[in-house]
Amino acid sequence: MDAYFLDWANLLLRWVHVITAIAWIGSSFYFVFLDNNLIKPNSPDLLEKGVDGAMWAVHGGGFYNPQKYMVAPKKIHTKLHWFYWESYSTWLTGFGLFTVLYLWNAGTFLIDKSLMDWSPTAAITAALSFLVAFWLIYDAVCRVFGFRPNGERIVALTMIVVVAFAAWLSCQLFAGRAAFLLVGAMIATAMSANVFFWIIPGQRKVVAAMTSGVAMDPKELATHGKRGKQRSVHNTYFTLPVIFAMLSNHYSFLYTYDNNWVILVMMMLAGALIRQFFVQRHGYHLGRAKNPLPFAIAGVVLLLSVIVWMRPAPTTAPAASTAPVTFLEVNQVFVQRCYMCHGEQVQMKNVRLDTPEGIKLHALGIYQQAVVTKQMPMNNATGITEAERTLIKRWYEAGAALR
């Protein structure tokens, strides 16, 4: 019964997490689009109000005229909308999902004893340390180098090295699936921390100064704006790498590869390069940026390089056995490799395979998980062999008979 409710918690948290992530990423992409398309107006009335950039857009049967004020307008005439709950809700639901799936079942999903044979408590502590440590390092690097000459380049190169080290270390300590997700989670934590610790507090200070009528140092106001802009731009570059890490857990060929951490770093870097192309594309059309096409080309080349590198080596398949596989034969595999998590005592994912009826009901899922994707058994904890997977394949493709 506990596994049943955990599955529901997993489903609902994942559902809400995806919805809030779409809202956060959508608003982030939209504001980056605005920044790259707003044009300084020539109209005296707009210039007098302090409008630094404006544009016209049409959507849903209406016309929109977004306007951007540098630092802050003199007065806000209507309700001020804050964009932060999209970020907070995404992180909270994501961490909840990580807790329900990986931390609650650390012995199954987080630990791979062939890599590191440690207790669930130690593994959980180490995993949470990744989230905290990455934020502290990233934040320190931004504070020290962020506004120096060539500072953004230094920050970018430093964080590439840090992410690469974190990817390598996580793949040495945790099960591959968890390692990939953990690297994505630590970057996503930094994204939300940017909003919580810097972007929103800075904007609140600007609004407080504007509404209170108390004079505030213009340099301090400008600093809040620059830092908020800096962290917001970083977040948009983090987005595609994080999404890849989150999706990777559905593709075991990625995280079970011998050099899995290299694959993760290369794909994340490809995502960041492709995102750079989209960020600069509109600025290029307006004459504000250099041609961004090399970033897209570099990202695609990197992605294709991974595909070519990981391609399976050609093999000569042995002659297939024509003898039919009986249920008695294949059931011996289920007894040894599957009952531990899908038997009378435990039914992970509400799947029970200790009866012929249960096996028949879940035959397609068994074939997909054990043969096609090879995701099960999780981390191959029960030591299923390729010969046994082939046996399941022959049994299923012959009709999954129970005789």
How does pLDDT run across 181-192, given as a tens digit for each residue? 999 999 999 999
Domain-ending residue, one of 255, 277, 310: 310
Decide if 58 is inside a domain.
no
For residue 48, give both structure tokens.
């007098």
Decide if 63 is inside a domain.
no
**Taking a C-beta distance cutoff of 8 angstroms, is the pair 271, 189 a contact?**
no
For residue 64, give both structure tokens.
């929109």
Decide if 47 is inside a domain.
no
Q: Which residues contact 177 (CB under 8 A, 6 or more apart)?
A: 109, 248, 249, 252, 255, 375, 378, 379
Distance of alpha carbon 398 from alpha carbon 382, whole angstroms? 25
pLDDT value at 125 more than 60: yes
pLDDT value at 203 more than 80: yes
Regarding whether 345 and 288 lie in a shared domain, the answer is: no
Neighbouring C-beta atoms of residue 399, cutoff 10 Å: 9
Looking at the chain, the whole-number percentage of residues with pLDDT higher than 90 is 45
Regarding whether 274 and 137 lie in a shared domain, the answer is: yes
Distance of alpha carbon 274 from alpha carbon 36, whole angstroms? 16
Range of the domain at 353: 327-397
* pTM of the entire predicted model: 0.84
Domain-ending residue, one of 310, 337, 352: 310
The position carrying tokens 């694959």 is 263
Regarding whether 269 and 131 lie in a shared domain, the answer is: yes
Neighbouring C-beta atoms of residue 155, cutoff 10 Å: 19
Distance of alpha carbon 187 from alpha carbon 200, whole angstroms? 19
pLDDT for 343-366, tens place per residue? 877 777 778 888 888 888 888 888
Neighbouring C-beta atoms of residue 307, cutoff 10 Å: 8
241 or 290: which carries more pLDDT confidence? Answer: 241
Regarding whether 108 and 193 lie in a shared domain, the answer is: yes
Domain-ending residue, one of 310, 336, 361: 310
Q: Give the count of domains, the chain.
A: 2
Decide if 347 is inside a domain.
yes
Regarding whether 334 and 273 lie in a shared domain, the answer is: no
Regarding whether 301 and 241 lie in a shared domain, the answer is: yes
Cα→Cα distances 26→20, 21, 31, 137, 233, Å? 10, 8, 9, 27, 14
Regarding whether 246 and 349 lie in a shared domain, the answer is: no
Decide if 381 is inside a domain.
yes
Regarding whether 180 and 269 lie in a shared domain, the answer is: yes
Decide if 149 is inside a domain.
yes
Decide if 54 is inside a domain.
no
**Taking a C-beta distance cutoff of 8 angstroms, is the pair 51, 39 a contact?**
no
- The dihedrals phi and psi of 117, each to the nearest 5 degrees, come to -95, 90
Q: What's the Rg (C-alpha) of the chain?
A: 26
Decide if 321 is inside a domain.
no
Q: In which band, very low, low, confident or very high, does the pLDDT at 1 lie, cut at 50, 70 and 90? A: very low
pLDDT for 52-65, tens place per residue? 899 999 998 899 99
Distance of alpha carbon 257 from alpha carbon 274, whole angstroms? 24
pLDDT for 65-74, tens place per residue? 999 987 678 7
Regarding whether 338 and 235 lie in a shared domain, the answer is: no
Name the amino acid, one letter, at 119: S
Neighbouring C-beta atoms of residue 326, cutoff 10 Å: 13
Most confident of 11-15, 179-183, 353-357, 365-369: 179-183
Regarding whether 349 and 251 lie in a shared domain, the answer is: no
Regarding whether 337 and 300 lie in a shared domain, the answer is: no
Regarding whether 300 and 336 lie in a shared domain, the answer is: no
